[in-house]
Structure 1
């Protein structure tokens, strides 16, 4: 699957060959603040945890995986959009409910890139018949919640989310298109 460019952005499917980019993005404590309390990801964690998890849900034909977000005017990679079935790493994954997530370099926060990218990916997936989308974050992550609302998502519920690497109370926002 491919996704159409947006006004300012283009997308590229992330593979294990892009471990350097994934590691670089995780080296800012502010980027990691609402993921793990601000701890930078080690190179070993990228190789032994992050990439195997990505491989578990990656399905390029369905658009599942990570999509590098690149500025069209400079070819600079600025972040990524996650696409996978909601609850993939739990005992009850929902293949008819696609989870969207995002991580961007701090220098590109507050410019509408995450919203534009997530909207472009969501619209591309919706054109294939997918009609439900969700996003998850910690309750105090006001910036991500603002993006969810800009995407048209509304608060669905709070829950304790746990898988092999994450264990936190989260809020879930969803949208049917």
Structure 2
């Protein structure tokens, strides 16, 4: 599980040689707009974030660099948390937006996860980031509900849409942790 390949991509672990590429991805304010962190400010912060990635993997989470096959240099990242949400997250450099790269990466991760005992994944997106929701739909996830959260560390109110994909045939299972945690929750009428 150290490396996944798709038609255009290699998904692999970040290494110390990727620090500059990781900085290029996560220092961009536009890329960072919908991430639960502030843009990285320098290489020292990036090195600390690289340690965070290593710890994330040690805690049984998945965290991959998204690389083009032609040069194997990270242009984005994709991860799945080890907690009970099995939360899927992704980000990609601006110049690679709208090319289907996140969708292609997510489908590779899903194919791999179907070989494990993880029963489902969830993913959330800010209502102001509908393109992320389009990726979730494109990979077969289903909208479940929305909720408002005072988002940290950025400290502003966000309405999130929660999507889920069950792998074990339990079609009616819904991950309710966010619904239960945040009092302002609701089901939106979603266009097809």
TM-score, reference length from structure 2: 0.72
Change (3 A) 1:30 1:164: closer
User: In structure 2, what is the Cα distance between the partners aligned to 1:138 and 1:83?
Assistant: 18
Give the stretch that moved more between structures: 124-133 or 16-25.
16-25
User: In structure 2, what is the Cα distance between the partners aligned to 1:130 and 1:65?
Assistant: 12
Paired position in structure 2 for 1:131: 119
Structure 2 unaligned blocks of 5 or more: 168-192
Larger Rg belongs to? 2
Q: Structure 2 matches for 1:79-94, cutoff 5 A?
A: 79-85=76-82, 93-94=83-84
Q: Are residue 65 (structure 1) and residue 62 (structure 2) matched?
A: yes
User: In structure 2, what is the Cα distance between the partners aligned to 1:29 and 1:21?
Assistant: 15
For the Cα contact (< 8 Å) 1:59–1:65, is it kept in 2? no
For the Cα contact (< 8 Å) 2:36–2:152, is it kept in 1? no
User: In structure 1, what is the Cα distance between the partners aligned to 2:154 and 2:87?
Assistant: 16
For the Cα contact (< 8 Å) 1:32–1:40, is it kept in 2? yes
Residues 78-100 of structure 1 deviation map (CA, whole Å, 9 limit, x = unaligned): 21111213xxxxxxx41xx4211
Give the stretch that moved more between structures: 114-123 or 163-172.
163-172
Residues 24-43 of structure 1 deviation map (CA, whole Å, 9 limit, x = unaligned): 11232221222369x63212
Residues 111-148 of structure 1 deviation map (CA, whole Å, 9 limit, x = unaligned): 11100001101210111232301112211111111101
> Offset of 1:3 from its aligned partner?
4.2
SS at match of 1:22: helix
Coordinate RMSD, CA, aligned: 2.7
User: In structure 2, what is the Cα distance between the partners aligned to 1:75 and 1:16?
Assistant: 14
User: In structure 1, what is the Cα distance between the partners aligned to 2:144 and 2:25?
Assistant: 29
Q: Structure 2 matches for 1:31-110, cutoff 5 A?
A: 31-35=31-35, 40-43=39-42, 44-48=44-48, 50-59=49-58, 62=60, 64-85=61-82, 93-94=83-84, 97-110=85-98
> Offset of 1:12 from its aligned partner?
1.3
How many residues were matched structurally? Answer: 164
For the Cα contact (< 8 Å) 2:9–2:66, is it kept in 1? yes
